[in-house]
Every structure is written in structure tokens, then in C-alpha cells.
């Protein structure tokens, strides 16, 4: 093994504008960082670039004038330069892993959702943003915005695309947004103003018309090119719930010299939307649409669409965004057909449709896999699998591409986009591995799907209706991974249709069920979810209610004094203007309580919440069963015992469940040490893909190409326990955010003797940002037991582990079973069989260390193999002895019946052969009494005898309710358990009046 320098482990807890550090002072930890800080520390500094000269572009520009990279960089430079001065904020992953309301990031504003709704905690680096700009990676292939079925059929829809975006978080309004849009498009990019058309929301019964946007556009455009549109076109919502608002859009006429207003928002490829400005001023939840306390601006422009306009192309697919992929696809195609840009009926052989779909899907897949999404049978993983299968089907069936072609396209995507998105190159090997495996699996799935489809086509109800039912098509979609468009195409080829409304009904039922399950997690039966969103947090802020001081959670005392600032009970509030806040809780109701100061840890970062009690005036108790945080307000969920109530202004005393907290802190601290140990043992980058810190266990998901070996698992477990045994002290200090960002390698011990800027600290400390609670000393964990290591998805493994008392119980169980194993090993081989079998069953059902279990299984297998070999040898000896006895017993006899004890049933054939050699004229019946008490029998009869071996066996076994049979010369049979062997011997001797001689 490579020698590594001594190291200390430093954990940083993210706090408002600062980082709390936890240092495990160890002489033996490695120099590997536990987690990259990049994912937690976004760019928080406002750009300070000099003003740039506005560029111009002629209408005859080409890809050489405006390559995709220049279109992207020009947008970002414009918005980050003064006087606009937007903060350049990096793109978030295409999968919002912490937002269950979205399958994929479908717009640039998704990562800022909490800013719009007022639920962002002050500790977030986004909290201080007032303006931001970026190019966001987006996928629209599921949920409210789903373009998957349109991809390939036209020239402008994509599952994956880049959204150029700029945002105001309550900073500026429509005037700036509209003015900058015009300046950028006309004066910087050089678009022809006479080809631009603006739309605005015309209003409806819920939301008034957006006359502000209308009047702003009239400063730049004539009235006949400023068009009112309906909610469907000009009211933007990112999902079933969440922030939303009226939008105003700019559309560009690619033809020119005409009145194109009738074609706006009519899905005409010659008049396309290129810019969308959404005024985020509402929020939609289960109760409906409600105004937000503050209005925000969200602008977005499709990079590919803008590039097509600037490059003088009528199709996004004719730009340099797709040219490299089309070339790669052409080299894979066996048909030799080149891309010609045809759509609709003109694309009769669907070759161009296939080109577009394959290229689009290759991009979507590469970016999703790079961001940690993996194909699966549910949620976004299923959508990703559908994208892959749709692309593979087009390539294989339409373009004639060879097996594995889709995986061979991935390097082209990586090469084209990795300069802007380096995560592609970093994860290229994993991308290729997953695509190859999924592509191979799809081949067998396709065969099964076609077979099932054929059975559906043959159903009488299908024949009669000439239609595939919604239930059958949904089963193929949901359970077999068959895209609905593939089912529809196969139906068309069979002169059938698919009941798409019924299929959609099945989909809606599934979505409703999922939403209800999510709501149930935060609500009691018959109540709405107890969650604070923008209305509630703004209501508190507007009334001067300060966010909760939760600093006591890191060092809770037995009792923390505080005051009730708010009581939240939306299910009983009769005043809509109070947004669910009431002076006192209704009797016996589940409510939420906001305190000025709390020791309770709110659920976050994978760590479960604290539970405990809040002592009220008069001796009543508010039992806390859940704790959540919204925009800095800690909401304690529970109810008052004894029929009392909790009221605003109550002076209270809070205490957490100390035993639960100790277990949570132990699991959380050891999660960090486990992360470190994995990096040491795997000697490679180990990226976290999720975690759970519960009272009774910890769960850690991480990237790994294959399962850990038993030796690696044991080494991981040993490394963690070494840190526990050393009883490392955890040092706790507050560190300003900027100072933490300046730490070399994000590693340091902060104090008088530390030098955060010194690169040498990388070799002696390991740092991880964290907001959870931890132990003050690693020794308090007692011990660590790794109980399971499994696969979650391709390239992602999961470890389950326990600490403290549970770990001690696991260790005790393991020691007890190990002692039994050692006793078993000491037994003679002839006696070990039954004990080994019982021990194996106990071991399989045990809850002990995974590496210890694996080790003991291997030892048990050795014991059992040795016992089997010994039993086989003993059986051989017994059989040889029996063969000698048989030779003497059958000498000069016509009929012979003998009972055998302790030989294996498979020895019957050898005995019969011995009888035939010793006395060819002897009819022989053998009864075998096994060591387990079971009785079997066999018969051997010479050729030409009246006695038939099969009939002989059937007659004897039939007397006891058994069964048997065979050929006239040799047959075998069995009798029920409990039958006495001697009784079978007597029956065999008496059969057909044959007696013993």
C-alpha cells in the first residue's frame, strides 16, 4: 500500500454567512477530501467586469460568425457587465434531486424556486442574490413541460437544451427586463426589429391582463405586432405547483417581408419564440393560485433557437449544435442515408426524424448521466430510460445502426460540450458504461415487448374494437419500459389505434397517487400539509417576526427558554388574510409552532429532525414530532397533550429527546468518517449521491464502478473503527464564508497555529461542508458496523451501517455466531453436517457486520464441503461393503429381498448391477432405510421373467400410499415418511405370491 501522510479531519457546518468547523484531530486519516465543496458553494460574488462595447450582427451571419459558444458567452457578458451587473451563477444539474415536484430541471429558474417562494434558508449561498445570469442545462421530457414526443417530428423541439437566463429577485421590474431584451437582441445580436413580434397575457377570470408589458413593447413595436394571448401561451408554470406568473414573449419571423402575426404561437416553424420574460408574481399550491408578496423577473432564451436565427438557419438541427452528432450518426448508419432536413409527409422513410431524435436524445442522456441521474423503473430514472430506448429504436430500426451505436455517440457529445460543462469529461467513463449496459438490455426488452404486444393484438376485445386498450398500453409503458409512441407506431402497422385518452387517464391516476403520498408525509388525515411557503414566511416577515435563532441546536442544554412567535393551523383558520396563523392552537389539533429560539434540529441535508417537548405555561406540554425549516423560520410540528393549547406570546422551555439526538449525531459523524474511509480504500474519487441519517442507522450512496470486495468492506469498517478507538476530539468554530472559500483545498484547522492559505494543510486535514449535528468526540460512537453494501443503480452503490448500542448488539451477535462457527470447525467431519446447516440458516438471517458475515459464509462453505466429502467417502465405504454382502446373499437364489441401512439412494443402480453379475437369474428387491428415516426401494429383474420390476415396485409402494415405477428390468419407488422399512420388506416378499427362499 502507498504510504500516506498523517491527517486531521475537518468538517464545516454551513451557517448564515459563516461556516462552523468540526475538526477530528487524528494522526492517521488520509489526505483525501471527504466531499467537494463545489456543489455547496456557488458563486456568490457579483461580477465586476468593465463595460463592453455592444456588438452587432448582420442578418446574413453564419455559423462561423455566431458559433454556439459565442452566442452563449455574448449573452453572459451582456448581463454580467455594468450597468446590468448580474451575478454569474453556475448551471444547476439537470435533475433537481431535492425537489420532488420536478422530474428534471425544465427552466433556468428552477434552482431559484426557494428564492421566489420565500422558503430559502438564510444559510444558503443563494440567499443574498438580487440578480443572476447563466446558461442552464434543461431537460423537458416529463411532467407539465414534456417535449419528448415532439422531438424528431419538427425542427425546433428538444428534450435537452440550454436556457440562457437572467433573473431579478425582487430587484428590478418589467421596464428593465423589456428594455434589456430589446437592446440585446437588436443592438448586440443584430436581429432585424421588423421581424420581431411581442406577446403578452390577455388576462382571465383569475389574473388581470398584463397591460404593463403591452405598453412597454409599444415603445419599440407597432400595435399590430404586440399581440394578446391566452393563459395557455402566456402564463408560465414550471409544474403542477410552484411559483408562476404572466409572461411576455418575443417571436422572430424567419421569412420576413410579411405580416406574420397570424402565425405567432401557432407552432409554425417559420415564426419561433426566442425570448420569454416571466413575471413571477404568483404561487400555485393545493389551495390554488395566490399572489406572492414580492414580484420577480425570470427571463429565458433557448440557446439553440437563437443560434439558428443568428446562423441564418431555419432549423435548430442545421446549426453547429448538431452538426458533429449528425456526422457521427451518419458514420454509424448502414443505410448510407444522409440528413436532408425533411419533416412530416416529406420525410416518408422517417430517416430525418430518426437523425433528429437520435442526436437530441444522445445529448440529453450524456448530460443527465453526468449529473448523476441513472436509468431506473420509476421517476426521472424511467424517463431517462425511455429517452435512451427511443433513441436506440430510431437508430436500429430506421437508420440501420449497429448494436452499441448509441454508446459510441457519447464521446462526440463530451468533446463538443465539455469546455462549457467539464462534468461531461469527468464522468465520461461512467456515461459510456451505463449507456452500453442499458442499450444491451433494451434488445431483450424489445423482444419481450413485441411478444406481449402480439398477445394483446390477438385478444377478442382488441379484434372487435380495433384498438389497444389504455390499460394494456399503460402496462407496456409502466411495467415493460415500452414508450407509448412505440406502442402507437406498432399499432398503426397492425391497422389498429391506441386508446390514448384511457392511457392518459392511467397516467393521471398514477400522478395523483404520487402527489397524495407526498402530501401525506406532512399532513394528518383530513388536513392540508403543514408547510410554510412564500405567503406564510412573508406574512411573518412583514409583521416583524424575526427568523428563528437555532444556534442552540449545536450545543443543546437540558432546557432552552423561548417565546412562541406564531402558531400555524391552516386547517382551522377562518381568516384567509392570516395565511393559516392563529392566536392559539385549536384543542387536540396538530399545529406548527414558531419560536424565537430553539434547540431543535430541523430536517435537512439527509439528517432526520429532532423530537422532544416544549413546556408551556401552566404545565402543559407540546409534543414535537417533526421539525422543518422554511426561509429561516423553524416550524415545530405536533400537538398539545391534555387538551390544552399553545398561544402566541407563551414563554416556553424546549428540550429535545437527548437519546435520539445522540444517536443522530453519532450516525452523522460516522457518515463523514465512512466517506473518508471509502476514499482511502477505493483510492479514487468517491462522489456522494445521497445519504440518510436516522436514529437507528445511516445510509450512504456513492459512486463506484463495481461492488466492494469482502476485503475492501472489512478495511472500510476497520478504518472507521480506528477513528472511534482513537477518541478524536471534535473542535467547533464559526468561520466566515469568504474565509472558508479561501482555504487551500478547502482544508484547515482554524486557530492561532493554522494557516488556511498554506497548501501543506491539504496533506494534514480533510474538510467537508455540513449543516448537521455531530459528536464532540468520535469515541462516543462506541463502534461502527457496516451491515450491508448493495447496488442502487448502475455506477452507484449503497452502504448501510449502525453505531452505538445497535452496533454493539450487531457485534455481540456476530461474536456469538463466530463462536458457534469455531465449534463447528472443531468437530469431526462426520458430525458437522446438521450443525453446519443450522448455522448457515442462522447466519443468513442475522443482522451483523457484512464483511464478517461474508467471511463466515466462506468458512461455513469450507466446513460443509469437507463434511460432504467425508459423507461421500463414508457412503462409498458402506456401499463397497454392501456390494460384498449382496454377492453372497444372492448366490443360487431366484428371488431375494434385502434391507439396507446408511447407503445413498443413488447406490441402488450399482447394487442392481452387482446382483446381475453375481447371479443373472436372481429377481432382486432392495429396501433402503436412510439416516433421516426415509424409506425408498428398488427392484431388479432378469430379462424374460414373469415378474416385472416396474409392476413389482408399484404394487409394493401402493400398499403404503407411495409411488414408483420404471422399466421391466429396473424400477425405483418411495413410500410416505414414517413407513417402517421392515414392513416394506415383508410386502415385497409377499407380492405376486413370491416368497423368500
Annotated binding-site residues read 668, 672, 770, 774
CA–CA dist 213, 207 (Å, integer): 14
Closest CA to 261 of 252, 191, 308, 269: 252
Bridge partners (DSSP) of residue 925 are 897, 939
CA distances from 392 to 146, 406, 409 (A): 20, 6, 11
Phi and psi for 169 in degrees, rounded to 5?
Answer: -105, 80
- Asked, as a colleague might, if the bond just before 83 is cis with ω within 30 of 0, I would say yes
> Which residues carry a binding-site annotation for Zn(2+)?
668, 672, 770, 774
Q: Enter the DSSP assignment of 607.
A: B
How many Cα atoms within 13 Å fall on the side-chain side of residue 274?
30
Pairing between strand 18-24 and 196-201?
unpaired
CA–CA dist 91, 367 (Å, integer): 12
CA–CA dist 754, 736 (Å, integer): 15
Report helix, strand or coil for 186: helix
Cell digits for 80?
454580467
Closest CA to 82 of 51, 116, 41: 51
CA–CA dist 88, 931 (Å, integer): 80
Q: Write the DSSP string, 237-265.
A: ESSSSEEEEEEEEEEEESS-SS--GGGTT
Element (H, E) at 688: strand 688-693
In terms of Cβ atoms closer than 10 Å to its own Cβ (0-12, 13-18, 19+), residue 173 is middle
CA–CA dist 940, 26 (Å, integer): 77
CA–CA dist 384, 386 (Å, integer): 5
Q: What is the sign of the dihedral through the CA atoms of 865, 866, 869 and 870?
A: negative
Pairing between strand 8-15 and 765-770?
parallel
CA distances from 426 to 89, 361, 419, 679 (A): 21, 20, 11, 17
Report helix, strand or coil for 439: helix
Q: Enter the DSSP assignment of 602.
A: P
Phi and psi for 767 in degrees, rounded to 5?
Answer: -120, 140
In terms of Cβ atoms closer than 10 Å to its own Cβ (0-12, 13-18, 19+), residue 458 is exposed
Q: Write the DSSP string, 780-830.
A: GG--EEEEEEEEEETTEEEEEEEEHHHHHHHHHHHHHHHHHHHHHHHS-TT
Place of cell 442475522: 846
Element (H, E) at 614: strand 612-615
Q: Please, which residues have CB within 8 angstroms of residue 575's CB and are 6 or more apart in sequence? A: none
Report helix, strand or coil for 288: strand
Burial letters for 246-268: b for 16+ Cβ neighbours within 10 Å, e otherwise? bbbbbbbbbeeeeebeebbbeee
CA–CA dist 126, 42 (Å, integer): 8
Please check whether residue 162 is in contact with residue 304, taking contact to mean a CB–CB distance below 8 angstroms: yes
Cell digits for 336?
448510407
Amino acid at each position: 500500500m502507498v504510504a500516506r501522510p498523517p491527517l486531521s479531519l475537518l468538517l464545516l457546518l454551513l451557517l448564515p454567512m459563516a461556516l462552523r468547523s468540526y475538526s477530528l484531530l487524528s494522526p492517521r486519516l488520509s489526505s483525501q477530501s471527504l466531499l467537494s465543496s463545489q456543489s455547496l458553494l456557488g458563486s456568490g460574488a457579483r461580477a465586476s467586469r468593465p463595460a463592453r462595447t455592444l456588438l452587432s450582427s448582420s442578418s446574413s451571419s453564419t455559423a462561423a460568425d455566431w458559433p454556439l459558444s459565442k452566442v452563449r458567452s455574448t449573452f453572459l457578458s451582456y448581463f454580467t457587465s455594468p450597468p446590468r451587473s448580474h451575478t454569474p451563477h453556475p448551471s444547476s444539474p439537470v435533475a433537481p434531486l431535492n425537489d420532488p415536484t420536478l422530474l428534471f430541471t425544465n427552466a433556468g429558474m428552477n434552482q431559484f424556486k426557494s428564492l421566489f417562494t420565500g422558503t430559502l434558508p438564510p444559510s444558503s449561498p443563494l440567499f443574498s442574490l438580487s440578480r443572476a445570469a447563466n446558461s442552464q442545462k434543461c431537460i423537458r421530457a416529463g411532467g407539465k413541460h414534456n417535449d419528448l414526443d415532439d422531438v424528431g417530428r419538427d425542427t425546433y423541439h428538444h428534450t435537452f437544451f440550454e436556457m440562457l437566463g437572467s433573473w431579478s429577485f425582487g430587484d428590478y421590474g418589467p421596464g428593465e427586463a423589456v428594455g434589456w431584451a430589446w437592446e440585446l437582441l437588436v443592438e448586440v445580436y443584430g436581429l432585424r426589429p421588423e421581424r420581431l413580434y411581442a406577446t403578452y397575457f390577455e388576462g382571465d377570470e383569475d389574473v388581470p391582463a398584463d397591460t404593463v408589458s403591452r405598453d412597454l413593447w409599444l415603445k419599440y413595436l407597432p400595435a399590430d405586432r404586440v399581440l394578446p394571448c391566452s393563459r395557455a401561451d402566456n402564463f408560465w408554470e414550471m409544474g403542477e405547483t410552484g411559483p408562476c406568473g404572466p409572461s411576455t414573449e418575443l417571436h422572430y419571423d424567419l421569412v420576413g417581408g410579411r405580416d406574420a402575426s397570424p402565425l405567432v404561437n401557432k407552432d409554425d416553424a417559420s415564426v419561433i419564440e426566442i425570448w420569454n420574460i416571466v413575471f413571477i408574481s404568483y404561487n400555485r399550491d393545493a389551495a390554488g393560485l395566490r399572489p406572492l408578496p414580492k414580484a420577480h423577473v425570470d427571463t429565458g432564451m433557448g440557446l439553440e433557437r437563437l443560434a439558428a436565427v443568428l446562423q441564418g438557419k431555419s432549423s435548430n438541427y442545421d446549426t453547429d449544435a448538431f452538426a458533429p452528432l449528425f456526422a457521427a450518426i451518419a458514420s454509424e448508419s448502414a443505410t448510407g442515408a444522409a440528413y436532408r432536413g425533411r419533416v412530416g409527409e416529406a420525410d416518408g422513410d422517417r430517416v430525418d426524424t430518426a437523425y433528429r431524435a437520435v442526436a437530441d436524445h444522445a445529448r440529453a442522456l450524456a448530460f443527465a448521466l453526468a449529473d448523476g441521474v441513472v436509468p431506473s423503473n420509476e421517476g426521472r430514472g424511467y424517463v431517462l430510460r425511455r429517452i435512451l430506448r427511443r433513441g436506440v429504436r430510431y437508430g436500429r430500426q430506421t437508420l440501420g445502426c449497429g448494436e452499441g451505436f448509441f454508446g459510441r455517440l457519447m464521446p462526440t457529445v463530451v468533446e463538443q460540450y465539455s469546455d462549457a460543462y467539464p462534468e461531461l469529461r469527468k464522468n465520461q467513463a461512467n456515461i459510456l458504461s451505463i449507456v452500453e449496459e442499458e442499450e444491451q438490455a433494451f434488445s431483450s426488452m424489445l423482444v419481450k415487448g413485441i411478444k406481449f404486444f402480439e398477445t394483446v393484438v390477438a385478444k377478442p376485445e382488441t379484434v372487435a374494437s380495433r384498438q389497444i386498450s389504455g390499460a394494456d398500453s399503460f402496462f407496456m409503458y409502466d411495467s415493460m419500459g415500452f414508450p407509448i409512441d412505440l406502442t402507437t407506431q406498432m399499432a398503426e402497422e397492425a391497422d389498429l389505434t391506441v386508446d390514448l385518452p384511457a392511457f392518459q387517464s392511467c397516467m393521471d391516476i398514477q400522478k395523483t397517487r404520487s402527489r397524495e403520498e407526498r402530501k401525506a408525509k406532512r399532513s394528518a388525515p383530513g388536513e392540508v400539509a403543514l408547510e410554510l411557503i412564500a405567503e406564510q414566511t412573508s406574512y411573518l416577515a412583514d409583521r416583524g417576526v424575526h427568523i428563528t435563532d437555532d444556534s442552540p441546536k449545536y450545543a443543546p442544554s437540558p432546557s432552552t427558554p423561548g417565546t412562541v412567535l406564531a402558531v400555524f393551523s391552516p386547517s382551522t383558520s377562518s381568516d384567509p388574510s392570516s395565511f393559516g396563523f392563529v392566536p392559539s392552537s385549536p384543542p387536540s389539533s396538530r399545529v406548527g409552532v414558531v419560536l424565537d429560539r430553539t434547540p431543535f434540529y430541523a430536517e435537512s441535508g439527509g439528517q432526520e429532525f429532532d423530537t422532544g417537548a416544549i413546556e408551556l405555561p401552566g404545565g402543559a406540554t407540546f409534543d414535537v414530532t417533526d421539525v422543518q425549516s422554511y426561509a429561516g423560520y423553524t416550524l415545530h410540528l405536533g400537538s398539545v397533550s391534555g387538551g390544552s393549547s399553545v398561544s402566541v406570546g407563551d414563554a416556553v422551555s424546549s428540550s429535545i429527546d437527548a437519546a435520539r439526538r445522540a444517536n443522530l449525531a453519532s450516525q452523522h459523524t460516522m457518515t463523514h468518517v465512512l466517506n473518508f474511509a471509502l476514499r482511502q480504500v477505493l483510492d479514487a474519487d468517491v462522489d456522494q449521491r445521497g445519504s440518510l441519517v436516522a436514529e437507528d442507522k445511516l445510509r450512504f450512496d456513492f459512486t463506484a464502478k463495481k461492488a466492494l470486495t469482502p476485503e475492501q468492506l472489512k478495511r472500510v469498517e476497520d478504518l472507521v473503527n480506528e477513528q472511534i478507538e482513537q477518541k478524536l476530539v471534535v473542535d467547533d468554530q464559526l468561520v466566515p464564508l469568504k474565509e472558508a472559500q479561501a482555504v487551500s483545498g478547502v482544508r484547515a484547522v482554524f486557530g492561532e497555529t493554522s494557516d488556511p492559505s498554506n497548501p501543506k494543510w491539504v496533506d494534514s486535514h480533510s474538510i467537508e461542508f455540513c449543516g448537521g449535528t455531530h459528536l464532540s468526540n468520535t469515541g462516543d460512537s462506541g463502534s461502527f458496523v457496516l451491515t450491508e453494501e448493495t447496488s442502487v443503480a448502475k455506477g452507484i452503490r449503497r452502504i448501510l451501517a449502525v453505531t452505538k448500542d445497535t452496533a454493539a448488539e450487531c457485534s455481540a451477535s456476530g461474536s456469538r455466531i463466530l463462536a458457534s462457527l469455531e465449534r463447528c470447525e472443531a468437530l469431526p467431519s462426520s458430525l458437522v453436517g446438521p450443525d453446519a446447516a443450522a448455522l448457515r440458516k442462522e447466519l443468513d438471517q442475522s443482522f451483523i457486520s457484512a464483511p464478517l458475515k461474508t467471511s463466515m459464509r466462506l468458512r461455513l462453505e469450507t466446513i460443509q464441503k469437507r463434511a460432504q466429502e467425508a459423507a461421500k467417502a463414508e457412503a462409498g465405504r458402506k456401499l463397497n461393503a454392501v456390494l460384498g454382502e449382496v454377492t453372497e446373499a444372492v448366490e443360487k437364489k431366484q428371488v431375494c429381498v434385502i434391507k439396507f441401512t446408511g447407503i445413498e439412494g443413488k447406490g441402488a443402480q450399482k447394487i442392481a448391477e452387482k446382483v446381475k453379475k453375481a447371479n443373472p437369474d436372481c429377481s432382486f428387491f432392495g429396501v433402503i432405510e436412510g439416516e433421516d428415516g426415509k424409506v425408498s426401494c428398488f427392484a431388479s429383474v432378469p430379462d424374460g421373467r414373469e415378474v416385472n420390476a416396474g409392476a413389482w415396485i408399484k404394487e409394493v409402494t401402493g400398499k403404503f400410499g407411495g409411488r414408483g415405477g420404471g422399466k421391466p428390468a429396473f424400477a425405483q419407488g418411495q413410500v410416505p415418511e414414517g413407513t417402517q422399512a421392515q414392513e416394506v420388506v415383508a410386502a415385497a416378499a409377499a407380492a405376486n405370491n413370491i416368497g423368500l427362499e
